[in-house]
Structure 1
Amino acid sequence: MPRLTFKTKQAKTSGQILRTETFKKSLRIQNQDYQTLVEKHLKCKHLFEDDAFPADLTSIGSENLLQNLPPCVTWKRPHELVKNPQFFADNVSRFNLHQGLTQNCWMLAALSSLTLNKDILTKVVPQKQSFQKNYTGIFHFKFWRFGEWIDVVVDDRLPVDQNGKLIFVSCAKKNLFWGALLEKAYAKLCGSYEDTQIGEVSEALVDFTGGVNITITLSEASADLWNIMLRAANSGSLMGCQTHSGPEMIMENGLVAGHAYAVTGIRKVRVWL
């Protein structure tokens, strides 16, 4: 594993403490205000369709990702896929989400770390969103970009194959859709699903937290690495790592080459030779 990344909740700079929760009201993309749109579509009794990120191939991409798509792609709302769709569950864990066709394991590794800190998770995934109460087909998420929290609105139309299976991120619980909708919002922030294919865990950790990032190349790490990681874990920092880039294959140590992981804990293990 050549790189280890962790994000700290706060950092001391010139005697001051910078915190992630002390910034002004979130900015909006395309001037789309979530609450205004909800009220508008409740009044007209029409489900929201996001013209800023349309349900067509332009939102998926323009190059290699399109070549990997199944022959028939349609966009469906969760109510069309399962009987009782749910947005979020209190017991979400790092094992809930499954990667789709997009090569965005770096984003999912950061998102897995996020599930270990409920305060930050609920900042990115605003609660009280539902497929039942005041449902208008619209959801929103918050990401940190260039020193500001950005509120990203999306409709809930998701790309599926001919069998009604989600093409991109899905949840182990088939009726849970927060992960798929968050991925769609992040794709909208980046430009398209294809634009989320290549990245670093560190990039996503910053986008999901607004925190201070430190990246360590393990071949150049100091002898104090263990203590650094231990202090990071004890302070509640979110951590991730990535293996050397290259064709995805299982290496002798059991890790997958060219893959990203969440670091969920630090332990010393006694090995008997």
Structure 2
Amino acid sequence: MVRLGGTKVVQYKSQSYSELKKHNLEQGTQFIDATFPAIDGVIGTSSIPPNIVWKRPKDICENPRLFENVETPLAIHPGELSCGWVVSAISVLSGLNELRNKIVPDYWEQEWNDKTYCGIFHFKFWRFGSW
């Protein structure tokens, strides 16, 4: 059993996932995060080439998935920009359903669907004693 800590949820920079998703679905637009702009340098490393091309999941593969198989721990393969710590954390997360469900609430509702995808995903991070 994984101990998940408190239940207090603090919105990051007053962003409400449900309000943002509702707004984008009503407007027929894709979410653009003003707090994390798609510009060179935002990733925080100088070892990557300039002029990164930012893409949506559908631009990368035909049938995008947030979680391919939620019952089986994943073999995570680091990419060019991956941090070993992040890859390790995602790998552990894929095998701990209770923790995954806390960090990615209602993940099954966030899976790819042409009718409900609007470019936003919901994650919770443990930060300074709060989710």
Task: Give the TM bin, normalised by the shorter chain.
Answer: 0.7 to 0.9
Aligned length: 127
Find the counterpart in structure 2 of residue 225 from structure 1: none
For residues 102 and 74 of structure 1, what CA distance do their matches in structure 2 show?
13
**1:98/1:121 CA distance change after superposition, 3 Å:** same
Q: Deviations over 1:199-251 (max 9, x none)?
A: xxxxxxxxxxxxxxxxxxxxxxxxxxxxxxxxxxxxxxxxxxxxxxxxxxxxx
Question: For structure 1, which runs of at least 5 residues remain unmatched after alignment?
Answer: 1-7, 11-19, 150-273
**1:30/1:74 CA distance change after superposition, 3 Å:** same
Find the counterpart in structure 2 of residue 23 from structure 1: 7
Aligned 1:230-249 pairs, distance under 5 A: none
Find the counterpart in structure 1 of residue 83 from structure 2: 104
Task: Specify which of 1, 11, 19 is matched with residue 36 of structure 1.
Answer: 19
Find the counterpart in structure 2 of residue 230 from structure 1: none
TM superposition score normalised by structure 2: 0.83
**1:116/1:82 CA distance change after superposition, 3 Å:** closer
Find the counterpart in structure 2 of residue 131 from structure 1: 112
Find the counterpart in structure 1 of residue 130 from structure 2: 148
Find the counterpart in structure 2 of residue 266 from structure 1: none
Aligned 1:247-258 pairs, distance under 5 A: none
Task: Specify which of 33, 37, 42 is matched with residue 54 of structure 1.
Answer: 37
For residues 21 and 76 of structure 1, what CA distance do their matches in structure 2 show?
35
1:116 lines up with 2:100 in the alignment: no
Equivalent pairs: percent with the same residue?
Answer: 35
Which amino acid counterpart does residue 30 of structure 1 have in structure 2?
Answer: K
TM superposition score normalised by structure 1: 0.42
Which amino acid counterpart does residue 39 of structure 2 have in structure 1?
Answer: D
For residues 71 and 57 of structure 1, what CA distance do their matches in structure 2 show?
6
Which amino acid counterpart does residue 106 of structure 1 have in structure 2?
Answer: W
- Secondary structure of residue in 1 paired with 2:110: coil
Q: CA deviation at 1:58?
A: 3.3
**1:87/1:113 CA distance change after superposition, 3 Å:** closer
**Higher strand fraction (1 or 2):** 1
For residues 108 and 82 of structure 1, what CA distance do their matches in structure 2 show?
20
Rg larger in 1 or in 2? Answer: 1
RMSD of aligned Cα (Å): 2.1
